[in-house]
Each structure stands twice: as C-alpha cells, then as structure tokens.
Amino acid sequence: MAFTVSSTTVAGGNVFPSIWTDSDDSGRNIISRNGFSLMNKGSLLHLSTKGRNRRALSVTCSVATRPLFSVPSSPPPRESSHERKLSAWTSIRQERWEGELLVEGEIPLWLRGTYLRNGPGLWNIGDYSFRHLFDGYATLVGLHFNNGRLTAGHRQIESEAYKAAMKNKRLCYREFSEVPKPANFFSYVGELVNLFSGVSLTDNANTGVVMLGDGRVVCLTETVKGSIQINPDTLETIGKFEYSDKLGGLIHSAHPVVTESEFLTLLPDLVNPGYVVVRMEAGTNERKVLGRVNCRGGPSPGWVHSFPVTENYIIVPEMPLRYCVQNLLRAEPTPLYKFEWHPESKAFIHVMCRATGKIVTTVEVPLYVTFHFINAYEEKDEDGRATAIIADCCEHNADTTILEKLKLQNLRSLSGEDVLPDARVGRFTIPLDGSATGKLEAALDPDHHGRGLDMCSINPAFLGKKYRYAYACGARRPCNFPNTITKIDLLKKTAKNWHEEGAVPSEPFFVARPGATEEDDGVVISMVSAKNGEGYALLLDGSTFEEIARAKFPYGLPYGLHGCWVPKNAENPLLGK
Ligand SMILES: CC(=O)/C=C/C=C(C)/C=C/C1=C(C)CCCC1(C)C
Ligand SMILES: CC(/C=C/C=O)=C\C=C\C=O
Ligand SMILES: [Fe+2]
C-alpha cells in the first residue's frame, strides 16, 4: 500500500488548485484528480492510499502557484473517461507545480539527469482563446531521474510576451498566428515599424530547449529575441539569452544544431532572399558568420524550421513553402499563416562546407514540406571521399495542409475521422558530382508507421553520421494527430510501434545508456496525454521498444514539442544556479 501527500502553498485568501486524490469505480487507483480548495495563507496536505501493487511512498508537493484561469471552488463533477477532454489541447491549469511521481515499472539506475520538454501550454488569455497550436505560451516540463526515482515539475517560461499578457490581460506581441489588434490606422503604421524593428515580435520561447556545450540551457522559438535561458533544476526563467554579436536578424531556425563545441543555426534573409549560416562557439554568446546561401527560387526564402548537418557539411533546405512578407503584416491569419506555397519557385537543397563556408552544390529536388529533418550523412567511395549526401526528414508529401490541421479547433475535434495527412521518411539523395538534381523518396513503406510521421529524434552520438534508427510519432488510423511512437529501422525498412487507444504521446526522445556500443541501447522518453484526461511520463526500452516504466502526473499536461537531456554531471558555473 502506498500514500500520496499533496500540498499546496497559497498566499492570501485566493482560490488555488490543489491535488485531489481518488480512485475510480473499478477500484483502479487514480493517482490524482484535480480539486480546488479555498484556503487562507498556509498549506494543505492531502493523504491517500494507493493501489495494491504499488510499494513506494510517494510524496507530491506542489509549490506556490497561480491559477491561469478561474477555477471552481468544489471538485469538478465526475465524468466518464469518454467525456473527458485530452489534456494535450487544454491549457495548463496553474503556473507551476513540482513533486515526486509514483513509478510503475523500473527506471534504469543509469538514467541520471533531467529530461526537459518545452511546448506551447497556455492557449488563452482570460476568455480570449488562441487558434493555433504554435501560439500558446511556453510551458516547460522537467523530469528529474535519480536512483530509479522520478521527480517532476512544470513552469511557465517568463517571456516578456507572457508577462505582458498576464499583466494587461490581452495579447501584446505577435505570436505564430495571433496579432495584437491595432486600435487605429496610425497605430497600424506604428505596427509596421514595430514589425520590421522586431519590437512587436514575440519572445515566447515555446518550441524547443537545448543544452549548450557549456551547460547553459536555452529555450527557443523562431524569433531570435525568443531565446531564453532557464535553470534546468528549478525550471526558473533566468533571463533573455543575449547574442553579443551585431548580426541582428529577427528570425532563425527553431532547431539549431547543438554539440559540445558549437551551436549552428540559419538566419533567413527576407530582404535579399537567402540564408546566413552562423556558428556560436560553446562558452560564448557570439555568433559568427560561416557563410551565406542565396535562394534559387521564390520571392523569399523557404521556411527553415530545422536543417541537418553531416560531419563536413551543413545542409540548407529551400522549401517552396516560403515566408511571405505580406502575410507577416496581416492582422488575420491566412490559411498558411506567415507563409505561402510557391510550387513554381521549385525546391532546392544547398550544401555548404563546414570548414570554408563555401557552397559545394545546390540541387533541385522534388517539391517537399517538412518541419523536421531527422539526420544526414555522407556516402563515401572506397577512398573515403564523399560522393553524395543522404538527408532524411519527416516529409508531408509536399502537402501544406498539415499546418491547418494543427489548429486547436481541429485537434480538439473528436469526430473520429481519419484527417491526418499522410507523411513519410523523406530521404533526399544529393549527389556531390555537380549533378543539377537530387532525389527524394520514401526511406521505407510509410504503412509501417501508419502514414503519419513527425516529432523525431535519434541517438545524438549519430548526429551527422550513418545511422540506423529514428524514433518519431506515427499514426494508428483513423486519427487527427500522430498517436503512436514508432521506432524506425532504416536498414531493415521496418518499424515497431507503441500505441495506447485514445492517447497522444509527445516526441519520443532517445537517451543513450552511458557506455553503450549499440545505437539503440538506451531509453526513449515520451509524455503521454491519456484518453481519460490524465497524463504520464513513459519510458520505453530503446532496443526492444517495450514499456519499462510509466509515472502519472497529478494532472494531464498540455502537448509539448521538443525536449533535451541534461545529464546529472552537467555542473557548470555558467548554468546560473
Ligand atoms: C512552435 C513552433 O513550432 C513555431 C513557432 C513559430 C513562431 C512563433 C513563429 C513566429 C513568427 C513571427 C511571430 C513573425 C515572423 C515570422 C515567424 C518566424 C513565423
Ligand atoms: C506537431 C507537428 C506535426 C505533426 C504532424 O503530424 C509539428 C510540430 C512542429 C514544430 O515543432
Ligand atoms: Fe520543431
């Protein structure tokens, strides 16, 4: 028998959420339901028994919180699990929480460190609801693994955009699809100035989180100003990550390539269509220009949410889904938001030498749509010379409708229709012999992963190298969003899939076992929104892809996008602890 103790510390006589512990009708224990208490200054302890097979004493302790929307003063009425909403698409209910989770199964003792996951977790300001998944204010979740135990927490990232929205109770900065309403024409003119100077752009760092080579941890989005340093232990916002160079640039790729020694990213140039490739050495804040690529087609650069590298090259994608300056200015979202589809402008892949910054080739490739590159590597001849580049991505069959499918209204719809557009592992073959064209093909039959594919990771030791395994979210149809976790074997061209009915798992993140020699020796971490409104952290064995542990959160968490791993020994004075 086990117990859960939950505590909520409050300031003043406000209504604050606390943890409600209960069991369901079948006698199966639910770690917690959410209830709400009216309290004076102080703290509430909540004690309850847990299921037969659970041996651990689990103490959950929630720290001072601020409710993010009004809450009822009595427990919510009981609903059947079918009536409950997925927490994935529901705003986080309080600003922060932390506590220990009860673990079912076993966490490997070697797994010591923190898994951080960032994503847009708050989609409303009071009664005003955002429309798109990417608009939400950033919620950072941390899973701290130590000696087989798991403590967890979440916290809102205190960007200027978030703080201003909470203070003024209205949208104050331009988000992915939301634009603050100008009061009149003159303020609209001011808006133009604000847009081009970057003043009105959001710094809501809601897309990813990376650990720099020096140990500092930074949350990111696609605006340069949305680079925010956080403390990985407490999830506190430390402050803006200031680039000390004079490069400027308003936008960059959401997914820099980060290694122990460097941080590489692309700055799209909307004025002279192209991309500036920059490198920031670990331990510095200064980005230096490695080189520049001019676009081959289009009135503007293609969207670069991510890009891959090989050992010797930086691969710069030029998608026909291009930034659109007119759409940047519009107050109301267009079907493709800040972008436009230009099939006539064609699609290209550029290859830049990492050592010299020179473009070694540009090839035209079939039209494509991708958010995420998986990896890339060089194919070599018998003398070790690179003859071609292989670059893999989660490719949406050159169909831009995926952007619209990520509207919250569509994600929340429970119609049961099979509306998720098909996707595949798009494999580019880019010859380095001066050929003008490259190939794009599916690396395996997409039916192996249900013709849905996104949110990928690999063993980071294989970054830029020939690799065999990719982990991603796939589909069990019918569905409106990726609902499986898939391990893709690119050698055997097969996949193994994890699925739980009605659940939405977030990006599977691979953590290698220290000392591993096999590529898939490690664990895969995901956070799952369960059908009944609850949520849990899930650990799969990287090799067998069997579940090895799960741990329920006190309440279901919103969907998150990307994560990173901070190993336990990553102590560094620059961390800001
Ligand atoms: C969450 C995610 O994957 C992407 C987020 C992208 C954002 C927040 C993009 C924001 C932008 C603006 C506010 C204006 C300029 C263009 C663009 C970078 C798309
Ligand atoms: C969640 C997502 C696409 C799912 C499609 O199947 C894309 C996220 C992009 C940003 O990180
Ligand atoms: Fe992403």
Q: Splitting the chain (577 residues) into consecutive groups of 10 residues, what average pLDDT does each group show?
A: 33 28 28 28 31 39 58 42 74 95 98 98 97 98 98 98 96 94 65 76 98 98 98 98 96 98 98 97 98 96 98 98 89 90 98 98 98 99 97 98 97 94 99 98 98 98 98 98 99 98 98 98 98 97 98 97 91 47
Is 305 annotated in a binding site? The answer is yes
Rounded to whole angstroms, the Cα distance separating 466 from 60 reads 43
The pLDDT score that the predictor gives to residue 187 is 63
Counting from 1 in the atom list of ligand 1, the atom nearest the Cα of 223 is 18
DSSP 171-237: --SB-SS--PPPSSHHHHHHHHHHHHHTTTB-----SEEEE-TTS-EEEE-SBTT--EEE-TTT--E
Q: Is 454 in the pocket of ligand 2 (CB under 6 A)?
A: yes
Q: Rounded CA gap, 573 and 215, in Å?
A: 9
What is the reported pLDDT for 63?
56
Task: Please indicate whether residue 402, judged by its CB atom, sits closer than 6 Å to ligand 2.
Answer: yes
Report the separation in Å between the CA atom of 422 and the middle of ligand 2, taken as the mean of its atom positions.
13
Query: CB of 251 closer than 6 A to ligand 1?
Result: yes
The H or E element spanning position 98 is strand 96-101
Parallel, antiparallel or unpaired: strands 469-474 and 321-323: unpaired
Q: Mapped to the 3 state alphabet, what secondary structure does 271-307 carry?
A: CCCEEEEEEEECCCCCEEEEEEEECCCCCCCECCCEC
What distance in Å separates the CA atoms of residue 448 and residue 371, rounded to the nearest whole number?
Answer: 21
How much distance in Å is there from the Cα of 29 to the middle of ligand 3? 35
Q: Residue 18 is which amino acid?
A: S
> Is the predicted ipTM greater than 0.90, yes or no?
yes
Q: How far apart are CA 361 and CA 350, in angstroms?
A: 6
Please state, as a whole number, how many other Cβ atoms lie within 10 Å of the Cβ of residue 66.
14
Query: In the chain, what are the helix, strand and coil shares in percent, each to the nearest 5?
Result: 10, 45, 45
Helix (H, G, I), strand (E, B) or coil at 349: strand
pLDDT at 328: 83
Q: Cα of 206 to ligand 2 centre, how many Å?
A: 13
pTM listed for this prediction: 0.89
pLDDT confidence of residue 44: 29
255 is in an annotated binding site: yes
Task: For ligand 2, pick from 454, 479, 527 the residue to mutate: most ligand atoms within 8 Å of CB.
Answer: 454
d(CA 166, CA 153): 21
**Nearest ligand atom owner, CA of 452:** 2
Ligand 1 neighbour 254 (Cβ under 6 A): yes
Instruction: State residue 28's pLDDT score.
Output: 25
Ligand 2 pocket residue status of 179, Cβ below 6 Å:
no
Count of CB atoms situated within 10 Å of the CB of 491: 11
Q: Which protein residue has the closest C-alpha to ligand 2 atom 3?
A: 454
- Residue-level pLDDT at 326: 85
**Distance, CA 332 to ligand 2 centroid (Å)?**
22
Task: Consult the annotation and say whether 499 binds a ligand.
Answer: no
Q: Where are the alpha helices (DSSP H) in 33-178?
A: 160-168
Verify whether ligand 2 is closer than 6 Å to residue 505 (CB atom).
Answer: no
User: Residue 541's pLDDT is what?
Assistant: 98
Q: Is the dihedral of CA 493, 496, 502, 507 positive or negative?
A: negative
Q: Are strands 3-10 and 58-59 parallel, antiparallel or unpaired?
A: parallel
Q: What is the pLDDT of residues 228-265, one digit of tens each?
A: 999 999 999 999 999 999 998 999 999 999 999 999 99
Radius of gyration of the chain (CA): 23
Predicted pLDDT of residue 22: 31
Q: Classify residue 383 by burial, with Cβ atoms within 10 Å: 0-12, 13-18, 19+.
A: exposed
